[in-house]
A and B are shown apart, each in its own frame.
Chain A
C-alpha cells in the first residue's frame, strides 16, 4: 500500500455559540497519500473549510474548538503538539492557499517580503538568498518579469497574478501537503484554467499532496484523484473520482450531479433542471439519523436511525474503496 502523508481519525470541530453547539465537522476520518490529490466537495456550510483549517489548527477560538480526534502527519500527532512545534508544521509541512488572494495577502508589504518571510523562518536562509528564492518561485508560477514584480504590492497585481503569488508563497518552503481552498472561485474562467494548469504542473514537478476544496463538480473532475463529499458536517461519500461520476452512491451526490446544467449536450437546454428540493439543515438542531433525509427522494422511516459510512466496494486493484453513508445504496 502507498504510504499516507496525513491521517485524520474521528475529527470533531464544534462551535459553541449562545444559540447552541454547531457541529461544523462531525466525526470526519480520511487520509491523504503521498502525491495524491484529495478533493472535498460540498456546499457552503458543509464543513469543508473547517476540516482544512483543523489540519492547521487555525480554528477561530473561541467560539470554535477541536473537540476530539487525531491528526497524524509524518509520524507526529498534530493536535497534541505544543504551539511552538505547530508553527514548524504550518507553512513548512502543510501550506494553504485561500479563495480570495486580496484578503489573504498583507496589503502593506511587498509580495517579495511576504514570500521571503516564510523562506527565512522555515528554511533559515539569509535575506539575500531568500530574495533569490522568492524570485525563482515567482518565475516558476509564471509571473512575468519576476525580479521587478518581487517588489510589487498586492494591489499592483491582477487577481490571477495575486493567486499566482499566493501559490509561490505556499510552495516556497517545499511543503508535503498543499491545501487549496476554492483557489479559483474568485477568478474568471480563462484565468481559472491558467491557475489549474499551473497547480497540476507544480504538483507533478514537486511531488506534493494536495487537498483541493471546491463546490464545483467540474473542478473536482478536473483535479482530484479521490473525493470526499461532505454534507452538514459529515462525509457522506468517499471514492475515486471515476466512481463518483460513474456510479455515485449517495442520493445527495446523485442530486448534486443531476442539478448541473449539461456542459456538453444542448438537448437538455431550457428544460427544468432536476433540483434538490429544500435547503441545508440547521447545524445546531441536528438529531440522529441521516442529515439529508428531509431532502432525499428515497427517504423511508429507517433513515431516522443513525447512519454510518459503509463500504459498498472494497479497495481493489482497480482503485480505492467506495464508502457511502446511506443504507439504501
Chain B
C-alpha cells in the first residue's frame, strides 16, 4: 500500500467507495468470531467459573462440618440411615464422591434449576424424589459438558463401583447396578421404583441423570445404583473412598 506510493507520508490506502461486498464479508467474519467466542465461553469459561464456585462451596462445607479423618476407615452401620435435613430450595446440603470420576468430589444442592443449581453449584437433587438412604429413588441431575461438568465421566461408571453421598452426619454408599440411555421425557427412570411408575418402592436406589450424547441434549444418560451401607461421618471415611486420598 504505502510502499507503492513512497512520496505520500501519511496516506494509508483508502477504500474505493462503500463496498457492499466488503462490509458483508466483515459482518460474516464477525459472526464467525462471535460463534467462536461463544464456544470458548460455553466450553471453557463456564467451567472456570463453576470450578471456582464449587471449590468455594466444598471449602465452606468442610469448615461448617469440620474435617473428616481421612486416615480412619469408618465401620459400616447396621441401623437405618439418618435422613438428611434439607435446608431449602437451591441450598447446598451435601457433597458427592465418585472415585471413578476425574472430578471425584462436587457439591450437591436441592433442586434442578439450571440457573440456580446446576449451572453454579454442581449436582442437583430432584426435589420430588427420595432422600439418601430412604426407600425410593434418590435422583440427582448434573451437567456433562459445561458448567463444571460434574457428570462428565458418567459413562465410565461400571456396575459395582461406588457413588457416595456425604452429609454433615453420614456417608451413604451406593453401588452402581446399571447404565442406560433414554429419551428426555422418560421420567420413569426417576420413579420411586426405577422404570416402573406407580409401583410402591421396596429398594433404596440412587439415579444419576446427565446429557447424552456428549455436547448434545438429545437423549439422557442414566445410571442406577443401589444402597449398600452407610457410615457415621465422625468415624472417618467409608471404605469405598479409602483410596481417594485426603479429602
Whether A associates with B in a native complex is no
Residues of A within 8 A of B (CB): none
